Amino acid sequence: MVIVETVLALRKIVGRARIENKKVALVATMGNLHEGHIALIDVAKQHADFVVATIFVNPIQFGPSEDLEKYPRTPDADQAKLKEAGCDLLFLPDVAEMYPEGFEAQPIVSVPRVSEGLCGAARPGHFNGMATIVNKMFNVVQPDIAVFGEKDYQQLAVIRSMVRNLNIPIEIFGAPTVRAPDGLALSSRNGYLNDQERAAAPILYQCLKDVALSLQRGSLDVEQLLDEQCKRITSSGFQLEYLEIRNAHDLSLTSETSGNLVILVAARLGKTRLIDNVVVSAGEL
């Protein structure tokens, strides 16, 4: 695996791969890699011949009171994992490489509708910052395909909408959420949890599964369903941000209790913000 820190060096190497007619995949990350990220590399390898991973903790997608400074940085372990997974090229830019004229000079990509509500309401500016860096990485690497995790469901929906509406010629793949044996969705932020919080954390997924099962069985009383699970989440020590059922395709609000729906949750446990989701085909049982 080759490691480069500049756009120029990256373009030379990706250019060579393209001359060899290789299909190029991008896996963009913020590092502190776990099995969920490695699953993205696996999907990329299934669909492309040359896999580029990026590690960049993007300042403009963090709010002023968020964890930018303490976001876990584990470069040596990350490089070993990517090499082992068969990644071809790692792009490790610093902030000056990605924002050479400073944040104030940076054009911002804003994706309407799908980035509103849910995490967009709780983290103002987050999706603008995320869409902007993903767009920049697309322009730097110019991949044929890019792979993102379904754990960040709204992020994936924002990226898909950006690609469609800005006519970006890149095929987007979603990769299923990887979970710990007790159901907790893998996330770099899980490392912030203390033992007691870690023991309580899988309750979020259990609640999502319970809502999903009721919807599959054709439950129509959505309000009561969500109300019960909200109480369960808060009485387990979480501060609930949202628990919502949305249209799985475009995240629009829906009162439908049939078709493809997604149940999404965000909650804080101590200082750690956790998100998760489950997609369900309602009324199928």
130 marked among binding-site residues:
no
The only residue of 78, 144, 150, 152 in contact with ligand PAF, by rule CB under 6 A: 152
Active site residue 249: no
218 marked among binding-site residues:
no
151 marked among binding-site residues:
yes
| Residue 29 near ligand PAF by CB under 6 A | yes
Q: Min. distance of Cβ 86 from ligand PAF in angstroms?
A: 20
| Residue 134 near ligand PAF by CB under 6 A | yes
Q: Encode 35-82 in three state secondary structure.
A: HHHHHHHHHHHHHCCEEEEEECCCHHHCCCCCCCCCCCCCHHHHHHHH
DSSP state of 220: -
Residue 58 vs 115, nearer CB to ligand PAF = 58
Rounded Cα–Cα distance for residues 155 and 158 (Å): 5
The token duo for 51 is 């896999």
Residue 155 vs 277, nearer CB to ligand PAF = 155
Residue 246: CB partners within 8 Å, gap ≥ 6? 118, 252, 253, 254, 261, 262, 264
The only residue of 40, 89, 133, 178 in contact with ligand PAF, by rule CB under 6 A: 133
Q: Min. distance of Cβ 100 from ligand PAF in angstroms?
A: 18
The token duo for 162 is 């950006």
H/E run at residue 230: helix 222-235
Contact map string, positions 183 to 222, toward ligand PAF, x by CB under 6 A: ----------------------------------------
Q: Which amino acid is at 225?
A: L
Residue 35 vs 284, nearer CB to ligand PAF = 35
Partners of 279 in beta bridges? 262
201, 177 contact by CB (below 8 A): no
187 marked among binding-site residues:
yes
Give the interface with ligand PAF as residue ranges (CB under 6 A): 28-30, 58, 61, 130, 133-134, 152, 155
Which residue numbers belong to the known binding site?
A: 30-37, 61, 149-152, 155, 178, 186-189
Residues designated as active site: 37
Which residue numbers belong to the known binding site for beta-alanine?
A: 61
